[in-house]
Structure 1
Amino acid sequence: MARLEDLGLEVERLRGNRLTGVRGETDRETYARAKATMAIVVSPPARRKLQPIAPSADWRVDLAEGCPAHCQYCYLAGSLSGPPVTRVYADLDDILDNLSAYEGRGTITSRRAARQDEGTTFEASCYTDPLALEHLTGSWRRAVEHFGAWEAPVQLRWTTKFADVGSFVGLPHAGRTRVRFSVNCLPVTGRFEGGTDRLPDRLAALRTLALDGYPVGLTIAPIMTVPDWRDRYGELLDGVAAAVQGVPDLDLTAELITHRFTPGSKEVLLGWYPRTGLEMEEQARSRKHGKFGSVKFVYPAETMSELRSWFEARIAERLPSCRILYWT
């Protein structure tokens, strides 16, 4: 609260735990108000019982939920209920102290030979973008220091579309935090990622942290079959190769995530961005069913196979030291 007030931001202290005044007369007005609102709250008790977050990490740990950016394919659409207010959790010490009970108990990296070097992994950006909020909260710097002092085979993981990493340089991270940058080809970044930092700035930030000894990564998502996608994603990989050139002891990973949507997220996104040019044609997709009967629309198997083989070959060619953690 003191940090926010020192920045001259308007702060309202509520008498109860109900947030009012967010809903407008239209969905667009509600969306605009919610995106401009950040609530400081105590995390719900259910959040202390961590959930697996395959295929990324052993456990999901939330320091906040919601994001002030305006990505037209937003993965949070349909995942979080109500207006998209950003909520940050004030009980940070309790959240971090709770993690030790989960060490060695995961199934994604803790027990899989291909990723055992990562130890027990905790994903801290499932429902938010850390660097969109860090200047207001300081939460992720505290988390980096917590993992740096944790003498155990553990790793904090988070991903971002922003570039303000200066306050992370020099922290005693001990190599136990992997920062991944969410990147895409310029047609996607330029058209669908409103309110985020430019791609060249993200790549420069990746280099900055890699030079400071952080394990770093690429979250290439959502991969889309835009016109000339091979050329456009080839340009992206060339940019990454230039950004990491000459970095000593580079530890670089890639996570490859194709574009998908659900009926619910499509409805929400069209309400938020009624003029979007995002392709969400159900007839052009394959229907995939989750284990609880949920439905999502993904690219057809032939397209998925073509995309996967291209990315795997080109990453091996242009970023030979990069490990691909998964494809989905």
Structure 2
Amino acid sequence: MKLFMPDRVYIDPKSLEYDTGIMIKEKLETLNIPIIQTKKVEIEGKSPSENYAKAKKTIYLTVNREKKLRKCKPSADYQFALSSSCPGHCEYCYLQTTQGEKPFMKVFANVDEILKVVQEHIDENLPNITTFECGSITDPVALEHLTGSLKKCIEFFSNSENGRLRIITKFNNVDSFLDIKHNDHTKFRFSINTKYIIGKFEHSTSSFEERIEAATKIAKAGYPIGFIIAPIMIYENWKEDYRELLTSLKSQLVDYNKEITFELIQHRFTATAKELILTRFPNTELDLNEEKRQLKWGPYGKFKYVYPKEQSTEIKEYISVLIQDNFINSKIEYFT
């Protein structure tokens, strides 16, 4: 797909105290992207949906001063961020409720300081291996052509005896990672779904075919790989579509003999998320009918609506069998 380009970039002057910040600014200048040096981001749309759309084309170059990393179960031990938000317009995205009314993308210039905090967490957990997720609040691959930050992280973890990196993406901009000596310390996971769900709800992201092509490139480069199938939805012909998804994936990875992991996440939403989704996507065809769901207490102090137990069990068992039938080298890490 075409690489993302912002309409405008706001730059916090503090970010230019770092080599990465200077490099990103120079890159943006060569691309003739309007730059405003200020600590305040101003997005003024005529409606909430316009605010959202404008924010998704805006970058704020700043710094990340987080010293204590948040836990990230079941994906990893901890999460850290090179950026926040992403160019994708996925209607169901759980970040709808965490990024505010104007979810512009923050890009952090102080990568070395962020990695220093990562190293401190590794040292605290010695002699154990500590795993880190860097895609919990963003998609770092989507912004890599503007930042180069993820490549730096992969190189950092390649030299770490006790640290491991996990990446999740819906984008196919992976060529800059193919020649890195990664030492199997970074795992790429690709978020995949049926063609119906990607086409209907995952706007401004790479297509199913592009993601699988990118996954094949990463696999050939020797990285450990995995797939997140999320959000799994029940709709007309859902079983046939998920069967097609897994058989198509198998045909592209037939020569990959290492372990392939799968993470399975059913569709869920909170009352707050539903309100925001309907504001931003008034014509959405997402199934947000609370009466068809059951409440489940979430880890962040909010109830979420998930499928009733009978349907949830059916999803888990059906997708698990498809995976096991198609991939003898598969491991299902969790279903939630």
After superposition, where does 1:107-256 map in structure 2 within 5 Å? 119-150=129-160, 152-247=161-256, 249-256=257-264
The question of 1:71 aligning with 2:90 is answered yes
Q: CA deviation at 1:68?
A: 1.2
The question of 1:52 aligning with 2:71 is answered yes
The question of 1:19 aligning with 2:35 is answered no
Quote the Cα distance in structure 2 between the aligned partners of 1:187 and 1:42. Answer: 38
Aligned to 2:61: 40
Quote the Cα distance in structure 1 between the aligned partners of 2:300 and 2:332. Answer: 28
For the Cα contact (< 8 Å) 1:53–1:123, is it kept in 2?
yes
For the Cα contact (< 8 Å) 1:141–1:168, is it kept in 2?
yes
Match of 2:119 among 93, 96, 100: 100
Q: TM-score, normalising length from structure 1? A: 0.91
Quote the Cα distance in structure 2 between the aligned partners of 1:147 and 1:162. Answer: 22
Q: CA deviation at 1:252?
A: 1.4
Encode CA deviations 1:273-321: one digit per residue, 9 max, x unaligned: 1101011100000011236651110000000111111111111111110
Question: Structure 1: where are the runs of 5+ without partners?
Answer: none
- Count of residue pairs the alignment pairs up: 312
Q: CA deviation at 1:154?
A: 2.1
Q: TM-score, normalising length from structure 2? A: 0.89
Q: CA deviation at 1:25?
A: 2.1
Runs of 4 or more, structure 1, over 4 Å off, are: none
Question: Structure 2: where are the runs of 5+ without partners?
Answer: 1-24
What secondary structure is seen at the aligned counterpart in 2 of 1:12? strand
Q: CA deviation at 1:97?
A: 1.5
For the Cα contact (< 8 Å) 2:51–2:101, is it kept in 1?
no
What secondary structure is seen at the aligned counterpart in 2 of 1:77? helix
Encode CA deviations 1:237-284: one digit per residue, 9 max, x unaligned: 01110121112x423111101100001111111111110101110000
Structure 2 counterpart of 1:168, one-letter code = F
Aligned-pair identity in percent equals 36
Structure 2 counterpart of 1:230, one-letter code = K
Q: CA deviation at 1:191?
A: 0.6
For the Cα contact (< 8 Å) 1:158–1:179, is it kept in 2?
yes
The question of 1:257 aligning with 2:279 is answered no
Structure 1 counterpart of 2:26, one-letter code = A
Quote the Cα distance in structure 2 between the aligned partners of 1:100 and 1:285. Answer: 42
For the Cα contact (< 8 Å) 1:210–1:250, is it kept in 2?
no
Quote the Cα distance in structure 2 between the aligned partners of 1:181 and 1:32. Answer: 25
Structure 2 counterpart of 1:259, one-letter code = H
For the Cα contact (< 8 Å) 2:67–2:117, is it kept in 1?
yes
